[in-house]
Amino acid sequence: MNLSHKILNLSIISLLFLISGCQSVKLINRQDANSPELKDIQNWQVTAKMAINTPEENATVTLEWDKREENFDFHIYGLLGATYAQLTQKDGMATLTLPDDQIAYHQDAEQLIYQAMGWDFPLHALSFWIKGIPSEISGEQISRDEKGKIKQIIFRDWQVDISRYQLFSGYSMPKMIKAKHPNLSLKIVIRNWQLRQTP
């Protein structure tokens, strides 16, 4: 093989690598002009490990949160799949299932959590915070890092620290969220995201 053929083959190989690299970047970076913003994606499922600490107990559980517009299934379970708490909402009615088949209902999911468990739990806001974006609810105080990503949110009596942003489903979102309240603290470590653009 003469020198000109070697140079031609090297050029073709380099071009193939370049094309392959460009395709990889295109697949990973979905936050372009044609992709919906995170705040507009309301159909998703997240799986996480969660540590719950209250004055009465400490527990390490698994969270599976399946959200489809206004309907959702917020399922917390422990060892061997035993349900710690499961909050569902469908057609404007929230249902909370606790161990020993205790079941409670309310039209307001957050009010239901408060009445049944005594937790002032900002579930709607958390559905935004878990993606690393503000909920746009009045009263949020937001601090950002040097890259413009949210690192802390103060809301009512909650202090929420967000860190370790990683790519999930092509979007940069938090890997870890720590939320502290006078009567409750949570540590959420995200394992997996599935984002759906349609219900």
What strands lie across the sheet with 141-144, from one edge to the other? 102-106, 93-98, 83-90, 71-77, 58-68, 43-53, 184-196, 171-181, 158-168, 150-155, 141-144
Per-residue confidence (pLDDT) for residue 140, from 0 to 100: 93
Per-residue confidence (pLDDT) for residue 155, from 0 to 100: 92
Cα angle 170, 171, 173; round to 5? 135
Per-residue confidence (pLDDT) for residue 1, from 0 to 100: 54
Per-residue confidence (pLDDT) for residue 169, from 0 to 100: 84
Per-residue confidence (pLDDT) for residue 16, from 0 to 100: 37
| Tokens of residue 134, six digits | 């503000």
| 8 A C-beta contact, residue 78 and residue 61 | yes
Domain limits, the chain: 1-30, 38-196
Per-residue confidence (pLDDT) for residue 71, from 0 to 100: 95
CATH superfamily of 38-196: Lipoprotein localisation LolA/LolB/LppX (2.50.20.10)
Per-residue confidence (pLDDT) for residue 12, from 0 to 100: 38
N-terminal to C-terminal alpha carbon distance within the chain: 58
Q: Which of 130, 90, 89 is nearest to 110 (CA)?
A: 89
| Tokens of residue 108, six digits | 């307001």
| Tokens of residue 88, six digits | 């569902």
Per-residue confidence (pLDDT) for residue 93, from 0 to 100: 96
Find the radius of gyration of the CA atoms of the chain.
22
Going from the first residue of the chain to its last (199 residues), give the mean pLDDT of each consecutive group of 10, the final group possibly shorter.
Answer: 43 37 36 66 95 89 94 90 90 91 92 88 93 90 94 94 92 95 93 81
Rounded CA gap, 181 and 71, in Å? 26
| 8 A C-beta contact, residue 196 and residue 41 | yes
Rounded CA gap, 140 and 125, in Å? 10
